[in-house]
Amino acid sequence: MTVSPPLPPVRGKLLKDAVLAPYTWFRVGGAADWLFLPADTDDLSAFLQALDPAIPVTVLGVGSNLIVRDGGIEGVVIRLMGKHWGEITAVDATTLTAGAGALDLSVAKAAAANGTRGLEFLSGIPGSIGGATRTNAGCYGRELKDVLTSLEGITRTGKRVVYQGDSGDQGLPAVQMAYRHSDLPEDFIVTRLVLSGDGTDDPGAILKDIETLQARRAETQPIRDKTSGSTFANPDPPGTPNQRSAWKVIDAAGCRGLRVGGAQVSEKHCNFLINTGDATAADLEALGELVRARVFDHSGIQLRWEVRRIGRLHPPA
């Protein structure tokens, strides 16, 4: 059932039957019953306090690690993008705050400009810092939990909450993070983070390291295609003896270049799915499940989706 007015008044934008494909990196997916673009934290909190508790709420960042199914999403989709949500501020020489909508690359570059060492790895993570929090995203041997001091957010009822991160020591409720996982409540909306680096350095030297990481990513990943971040989590967490990589077990199962409709396993890096031009969300999800089945048949490994798949399989009648 689709959601009909009235909805609470807002200062931001509230769009009916908003097609979500343009907001995802795969460029697939149906429409949201309603898309809410809140002006700021107060606008978001007031909206949620007044919203009928029965109406589902889904949060969408930049859609870098997401498949929105072809039937769209029931209820209200909240997208935290724009000037307020992308604001990054240096607190001191080693600490920054970032709105949930700030791109991970932007945070890394802001840290470099501040002379803050230790956040360079964020430049290799696609998407926004809020989305990175939900999955404890990481690369190049580091994870978000390594630099997270605290985070602010809003519950489904509009209540504001602050959590302490792994690197924090403020006597706050703690968020527990593990490999590609956090225990944040499913309906919790991250709004702002406090991140701490390891020390200070020359801004130019830090930026040069970021540029090196960016070049490495471009060489090894299909970043110019309609794709996402890594499709599947590695079978073993970092530091595990004889750690197995998702791309290696996918390749060993003969899935490189495998296709379903307009969806294809990347030839460049086979832990990435790509939309070759006319893929549907159903194509991408079916291809991912086919890869999982072939890997299991070949090695007995159950790959875990890292890309979120949300929404209805088919449009409402």
In tens digits, the chain (317 residues) has pLDDT values of: 455 658 999 999 999 999 999 999 999 999 999 999 999 999 999 999 999 999 999 999 899 999 999 999 999 999 998 899 999 999 999 999 999 999 999 999 999 999 999 999 999 999 999 999 988 999 998 999 999 999 999 999 999 999 998 666 666 788 999 988 999 988 899 999 999 999 999 999 999 999 999 999 999 999 999 999 999 999 987 778 888 999 999 999 999 999 999 999 999 999 999 999 999 999 999 999 999 999 999 999 999 999 999 999 998 87
Active-site residue (options: 128, 196, 230, 266): 230
Which residues fall within 8 angstroms of residue 244, CB to CB, at 6 or more apart? 234, 235, 236, 301
Q: In the chain, pLDDT over 90 holds for what percent of residues?
A: 86
Q: Are 64 and 22 in contact (CB under 8 A)?
A: no
196 annotated active-site: no
Catalytic residue selected from 117, 180, 192, 292? 180
Question: Which pLDDT tens digit goes with each residue over 232-274?
Answer: 999 987 778 888 999 999 999 999 999 999 999 999 999 999 9
Give the 3-state secondary structure of the chain.
CCCCCCCCCCCCEEEEEEECHHHCCCCCCCEEEEEEECCCHHHHHHHHHHCCCCCCEEEECCCCCEEECCCCEEEEEEECCCCCCCCEEECCCCEEEEECCCEHHHHHHHHHHCCEECCHHHHHCCCEHHHHHHCCCEECCEEHHHCEEEEEEECCCCCEEEEECCCCCCCCCECCEECCEECCCCCCEEEEEEEECCEECCHHHHHHHHHHHHHHHHHHCCCCCECCCCCEECCCCCCCCCCCCHHHHHHHCCCCCCEECCEEECCCCCCCEEECCCCCHHHHHHHHHHHHHHHHHHHCCCCEECCEEECCCCCCC
Q: Which residues contact 202 (CB under 8 A, 6 or more apart)?
A: 115
Contacts from 277-280 at CB under 8 Å and sequence distance 24+?
277/226, 279/26, 279/28, 279/226, 280/28, 280/70
Pairing verdict, β 199-200 and 160-164: unpaired
Confidence (pLDDT) at 1: 47
Annotation marks residue 312 as catalytic: no
Residues 272 and 274: their CA atoms lie apart, in Å, by 7
**What pTM, to 2 d.p., does this model score?**
0.91
- Please answer whether residues 122 and 104 qualify as being in contact, where contact means their C-beta atoms are separated by less than 8 angstroms: yes
Whether the CB-CB separation of 70 and 314 falls below 8 Å is answered with: yes
Respond yes or no: is residue 230 known to be catalytic: yes
CA distance 222 to 154: 35
pLDDT of 120-159, one tens digit each? 999 999 999 999 998 899 999 899 999 999 999 999 999 9
pLDDT tens, residue by residue, 264-286: 999 999 999 999 999 999 999 99
State how far the Cα of 90 lies from the Cα of 156, in Å rounded to an integer: 29
